Structure 1
Amino acid sequence: MPRFSVIVPAYQVQAYLHECLESVLSQSYPDLELIAVDDGSPDACGAIIDEFTARDPRVKAVHLPETLGRGRARNAGAAEASGDYLLFLDGDDTLTPHALRSIADRLKETGEPDVLVYDYAHAHWNGGTVRNQAAVQLTEQGPAPFRLEDRPGLLHLVTAAWNKAYRREYVEQGGFAFPPGYYEDVPWTYPVLMGAESIATLDRVCVHHRQRRPGTVPGTAGRDHFDVFEQYDRLFAHLDAHPELASWRPVLFRRMVEHLATVFARHDRLPRALRAEFLRTARAHCRRYRAPGHPVPVRSRLRHTLVRLGLHHTFRAVRGAAALRRRTGRAAAGLLRALRSVALRAHYRVQLRLPVRADRAVFAAYGGLGHGCNPGALETALRTFAPHIRTAWIARPEHHHTIPTATRRITPGTAAYWTALARSKYLVTNADFGPRQVKRPGQIVVQTQRGTPLKHMGLDLHERPAAARETDFGLMLRSVDTWDHVLSANRHSALTWERVFPGTYRSLCHGQPRNDVFQQATPADVARLRESLGIPDGSVAILYAPTYRDYRRAQPPGLDLERVLRRLGPRFVVLARAHPVHGTPLARGAARVVDVTGHPSVEQLCLASDALVTDYSSIMFDYANLDRPIVIHAEDRQAYEAARGTYFDLRSFPPGAVARTEDELIDIFATGHWRGSRSAQLRAAFRTRFCPYDDGRAAERVVRRVVLGEDESALPPVIPLDERRPVPSAAASLAHSPQPTELSAAGERAFPEDAFVDGGFTEGVFSERVFSEGVFTDRV
């Protein structure tokens, strides 16, 4: 008996069915059966299902002799099911990676509830995904399982069958089945939730619900949408047959009115000729099932009233007035923006004719984010070593709180912004100030860059169209022409920048100012940071910071952090930081995973952690200054190198152990080799090559060279690597994990400290994975 029976009805979805079925069969939780139902589809759906049936024994094919509709096709699939739980998935939707594992874990945690409700995201035809806006209803805080009376807000979720897992015995005992019709989910979803003795929620996106391009779905507008009335007739008949559910009548009446109003307002559902008839039918239903006693929100009262009274022309007039008001508002706002833009351009031209202020410096990072990165470290150093210079920071209002009080705060696009760009002598950024910036004689532009380059940058992206996308190389080079100084952390960076960003600037090989804090922080600072992040005492905190795949519309899921932590045990905690460009949390709501995507300082996160796990992010070069363990997770190395390109093979010169799969990563941590002697040797060589100048005084050297005009020979000498003492991690004093030892009684072989073997018998052949030289290799 499998754990899950995943039922997929298929009708005219041949273009999407392969992806749908593959998303089920490729799940990391394999204990399932996939029941694919060909609902008499006239296209190739039946043939695709048969191909999967021949390929994988977990697939059952059900071919219906004629088209019965999605609801009855689901019934046909459920009749063949033998799993503990039923899951429904439409033929053009997909399960997200590791969804079934997360569902299985949550079912076990909550004591096998009758229904588990999980989240979904809309997958739009242009490649974007948007999470369900009502996800707040799926919070896992509070007791679980529960009954619907304890969490009535679940009724506000979409009335869909595919965002829930149903205990099969509960469905069979309750006699639940899908009726025929277009809105078959209505008389299924509400009775199932109301009758459940136990319900649980999972605050995780498990389904990507496909939103097809408008106009490409056949038969989406017409009289089929009148079926909604028949389905609500079935729902209220169910209430009449079960008097114990009578208390839900006011709630369901309100949901019905909202649903009818939504259908009526959608032009892609009802042609103009049918709207009056639809609203008259809606009025009759409202009179028939009206149940006073449940308040309607103020913002919805007008719409409810118009639907209940069947005021077709009034409804149209109100909607038309609202649309006119929106259009008028947009037009007025556009006119104001245009006038404001003209005024600001005139203001900027005036400011460009006024003298440059030698005592002013303006800073920015990432095009308007808060105080941080190399510009942030330089701004702080400037106030220390050149206090006669007044500093200002450009950031969007939501990031102003990160700016020190001694620094002026400037919002991009304002008159103060253009004044600062026109009249400040020093302009410091890790991005650029936009195409309208004019570099004036007497101004000094310092480009700090964002770290040591591993992936291809600048002109090298000419050969990488998938990563370059719509990069304007001409505009990029015009920006390069304004640079006076470019910071480089090492020789590799300097050589790369000068080649891919060719210009007349001077390379300053003084180190990365943002890394100064690694040499200046104290153990008390580390303890304070860990406490602020909620890291338990005695825990090993892993900072997981994957980079952005700019050649992909949808970002890969990365590690299954919940699974990793389950395997490693309660001692480990993960600080999960998605790339700022991506921004989506990597593991929302997972236990022992702290989402630090929005944290303003990545340097503080590095200090608070005990180890780093990354892929191709430049954070590895910064983290190496802490002399703490680094593990590379390079599962898609070939695809990344083919699309983006790298300046050296990370496997041949890694900063620590390299894992090709998630299981290898788990093994590296479980066996202690993440901080073994071989990993330390690799890290030492990596630091020697890429961290020669990061001794804690990089910002001071840059300020004294650029602002105070000191000669190179007068700058503070670089402290050698072997004399630096970066602040230790909180786990540095913990005992090392036990290494494999010789156990003659058990017949196991012993390996040196730098080798880890994971062996097993498969079909009579002994296979082993040996961890050596920073990576795993397979031997038979």
Structure 2
Amino acid sequence: MFTKIPFSDNMVELEVLNNGGDILKKVSIIIPIYNTEEFLDECIYSIIKQKYENFELLLINDGSGLSCTNKINELEKIDARIKVFHQEERKGVGAARNIGLEKATGDYIYFMDSDDYLGESTVQLLVKNIADHKMVTGKQVRTTLSHENEETAVALDTEVDPDVYLYQQNIKKAFKNRSALHRLISRDLINERNIRFSEDVDCYADLSFILPLLVESDEVPYIKNAYYFKRKRNDPITNPAIMQLDAEKKINDFITIYNQLKDDYRDNSEAAQFLDNHMINFYRKTIVTFLKDERNIDVIYEDLVSFAAKLDQQLLSKKSIIVRRELNPLVRNDRKKYESVNRLHQRLRKVKYALSGRTKLYTHLYRSVFTKLPLKEKTVLFESFLGKNYSDNPKYIYEYMLKNHPDYNFIWIFKEPGKNIPGNPKQIKRFSLKYYYYMGTAKYWVSNSRIPKRFDKREGNVYLQTWHGTPLKKLVFDMKDIHSANPNYKRDVYIQSRRWDYLISPNQYSTEIFGSAFKYDKTMLEYGYPRNDILYTGNDESTITELKRKLNIPVDKKVVLYAPTWRDNDFFEAGKYRFTLQLDLQKMKDQLGDEYVVLLRMHYFIANQLDISEFEGFAFDLSTYDDIAELYLVSDILITDYSSVFFDYANLRRPILFYTYDLESYRDTLRGFYIDIEEDVPGPLLKTTDEVISSINNIEKLNKTYKDKYENFYNRFCAWDDGKASEKVVKDVFEVN
């Protein structure tokens, strides 16, 4: 049972709580480092800024490359409490921590990972509350955010309390995560018991360190408000943490350390039971998933037999019948029986998955049935902006094919079918059973956004990713922190983009960015965007007048198009973002209404609807209008912020204004830009509605001011567009004349 003790910073209370102990004891903070230079500043400065100052910081360079090694050497110079030790070759986190233990001179030992960081009172709270205990711990907060966003990370914890509380926590619960991180431990205890980390494994080396602590202690104080920010790296592809390594490596390491420790602690029933329970849980959560592919049994079967032979049979007999049925054949080394049991288990898992919801049932049918059917060789499936409309690059590719290759079968995916589309293609509701069927059987996919991960691409399927803009904002692997609703954004995009066979690029600038941002190395179609064809073939007075009538906007008025993007950190849920209109429409109507009307076009991610009913006849919300290219054609001036629309609009050589009221926040915190927006864009950066109105009233003067910059911009970003991109793309992808 836990004891809850309120605690304050009053010095008298501190001395009572610590039984008069010396609160100035020295702490040795040990951090192994391997090629994590991008995180080191945040990690190290969070330690240097600790309220508790009596510490030494031991940085163990575990064979990092030159860049990271140089960074470590630079950090050593900033504070006399930092000590650096280099290993020329990588020996693993266990060996690095052991070096730290040998070099440490403090009264207490504290381990951190080099990509994590601390709250500024963390060490102080731990030292003040360890009292006569040999160890104390605090709260770990999982975060994908950087140290400068620490307040946001803390806010993720819904139980943050203004007071500090100390709990007496059961030792087994304290080590539930099998980690030595965020524990302040008496160095005397470590030295007396000669406790060290395993150097035989990369993953789970902590087990050999924490097991002796488990044996030596019953309870450990838990300080709720002593925060350790455990970063979940958002780039598990190019810079994975140890626990983001592949499953086979993790399995081999876990079984290796289990076997070693089971031998070492064979006579200690408490330690043995701890190991067995963790091994069985690991089997159920990690190993069983790895064995979804039956071929993986060959890879790890001998390891499975080795750990099963060490399991306590009495403990195993108390587990569920499912666990016993699977592990007993391993105990007997009966491979044939084990393969049969695993096969049945995997089938039952699939059935259970399929029966747990409609989406999972359809996904199961897609993988097990539809992708096994013959491919429809001349069937093309189109989707634009997650099925929200008939638009963009897929629209223009479709219309070219409809005119020139009508022998193909065309399918369009929509959230709400029933669109008026030329050629009368089959329209399918997104995420319906038919959708899964055609995803599984159509030879060609054409999409401008990401198709969900659950659609495994089958052999023979051809996926044309058209994308939907020239990037201004940093994308995917060029981003540092992820502020969106999906913290697994980088991993998910990587998985999804491995399926792309072709990717359309609008210019050389985009080709280079797509290569780094998506890690894309397949065929890049460098022809400009099909969606821009109309800006060359339809840029005439009769077409523009016809479009204005179609849109029910005054033919005799000039048109201002306002097309902003979304803000990553302002969301309802994944894929749905809010937007608050910052333009003062009343002021614009009063000063521009005689000559202009305003069209509002929100990004397709923006979920809230704008209420502009009081500006009827002046402002038109066309956010749901399918084709923004047609809005470009009718517009005399574009106002945007950080949306890629201005790259396309520049093809028309018409004025562009940039309403960047939150430039510093967006550029420096949320995304970052590929170009210098203050120097390179072909128009002024404006902060207020008054500046926008003034610019519109002086548009001819602005045109002259930005003439040379506009010309340079056009040559850099629009040179590939010539009105024939659709034709060139179709000929390459579909291999037709």
After TM superposition, the score normalised by the length of structure 1 is 0.46
Q: TM-score, normalised by structure 2?
A: 0.49
**Larger RCO (alpha carbons 8 Å, 6+ apart):** 2
